[in-house]
C-alpha cells in the first residue's frame, strides 16, 4: 500500500465544538505511543503573530497589509495574489528588519511542550508556512523541528526587493508536504496530525488522520473535523490515544 492509500477517511460525525474535554472519543485517532508525524502551520499557529503583518508594521503599512492577510486566511482572495501584493509593499526594507521582527515573535503557549512531548514518543514534527524561510528557519532551529518549508524573500544589496524567490507555498504544497514527510519518515497516514488556522491549511487538515483547526477562521473551523479554540497547543495531546 502506498502512503497516499494509507489515509483513513474522516468521520465528520466526530466533529467537536473546540473543547477537547467535551469531544467524542475517537478510537481511530493516532496513538501517542507509536511513531507519528505532526505538521502545522506557522503564523498564528506555531507562533502568536503573523510575520507578514509584523513586517508591514515596520514598513509603516501595518493595517493595509493586515487587511490583505485576513482576507487571504479567510479564503476571500487568492492566496498567491494576496501574498504578492503584500510582499511588494515591503520593497526597500533593510534585511536587518527580519532580525527585529524575529526578536518580537512568541511561540504559541504549549507549542514547545507539545513538540518536546511528541519527540519523546518517537514522533516527527514539521511546519509548512506561507511565510518566509528567513524567519521559519530560525523558528525551526529554536523549536527543534524536523521538517520545514516556507517561501523565500528576494534580497538585493541588503534590502528586500518586494518579490519572492523560488516556488510559492500554496494549499497544494502544504498537502504534498504532509504526504511526502510521512512517506520519508515511514509514517502511515493513520498516524498523522495536521493543524492550522487559515484556508490554505484546509487540505492538509482534511487529509491527516487527525485534523485540527486551531483558533481558526470561521470557514476553516467549519471544514475541519476537530477544533481547538483555546490558545494552548498542549490541548492537541488530548486528541491522541
The catalytic site residues sit at 41, 43
Beta-strand runs (E) in 79-229: 124-132, 147-156, 159-165, 192-196, 210-214, 226-228
Buried b (16+ CB within 10 A) or exposed e, 33-48: eebbbbbbbbbbbbbe
Q: How many Å apart are CA 226 and CA 192, to the nearest integer?
A: 14
> What are the phi and psi torsion angles at 67 (to 5°)?
-65, -40
DSSP character for 232?
Answer: -
Question: Can you read off the three cell numbers belonging to residue 39?
Answer: 505538521
Question: Can you read off the three cell numbers belonging to residue 191?
Answer: 498516524
CB atoms within 10 A of CB 141: 10
Strands 159-165 and 192-196: unpaired
Contact present, 126 and 113 (Cβ < 8 Å):
no
Amino acid at each position: 500500500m502506498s502512503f497516499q492509500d494509507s489515509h483513513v477517511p474522516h468521520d465528520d460525525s466526530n466533529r467537536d465544538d473546540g473543547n477537547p474535554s467535551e469531544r467524542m472519543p475517537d478510537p481511530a485517532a493516532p496513538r501517542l505511543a507509536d511513531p507519528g508525524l505532526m505538521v502545522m502551520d506557522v503564523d498564528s499557529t506555531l507562533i502568536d503573530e503573523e510575520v507578514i503583518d509584523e513586517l508591514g508594521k515596520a514598513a509603516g503599512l501595518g493595517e493595509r497589509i493586515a487587511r490583505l492577510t485576513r482576507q487571504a486566511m479567510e479564503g476571500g482572495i487568492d492566496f498567491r495574489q494576496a501574498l504578492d501584493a503584500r510582499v511588494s509593499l515591503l520593497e526597500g526594507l533593510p534585511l536587518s528588519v527580519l532580525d527585529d521582527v524575529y526578536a518580537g515573535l512568541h511561540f504559541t503557549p504549549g507549542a514547545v511542550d507539545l513538540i518536546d512531548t511528541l519527540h519523546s514518543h518517537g514522533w516527527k514534527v514539521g511546519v509548512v508556512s506561507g511565510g518566509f524561510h528567513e524567519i521559519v528557519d530560525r523558528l525551526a532551529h529554536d523549536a527543534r523541528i524536523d521538517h520545514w518549508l516556507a517561501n523565500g524573500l528576494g534580497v538585493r544589496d541588503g534590502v528586500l526587493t518586494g518579490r519572492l524567490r523560488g516556488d510559492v507555498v500554496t494549499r497544494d504544497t502544504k498537502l504534498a508536504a504532509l504526504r511526502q514527510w510521512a512517506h520519508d519518515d515511514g509514517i502511515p497516514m493513520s498516524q498523522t496530525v495536521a493543524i492550522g488556522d487559515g484556508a490554505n491549511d484546509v487540505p492538509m487538515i482534511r487529509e491527516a488522520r487527525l485534523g485540527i483547526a486551531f483558533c481558526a477562521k470561521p470557514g476553516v473551523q467549519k471544514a475541519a473535523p476537530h477544533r481547538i479554540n483555546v490558545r494552548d497547543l498542549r490541548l492537541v495531546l488530548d486528541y491522541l490515544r
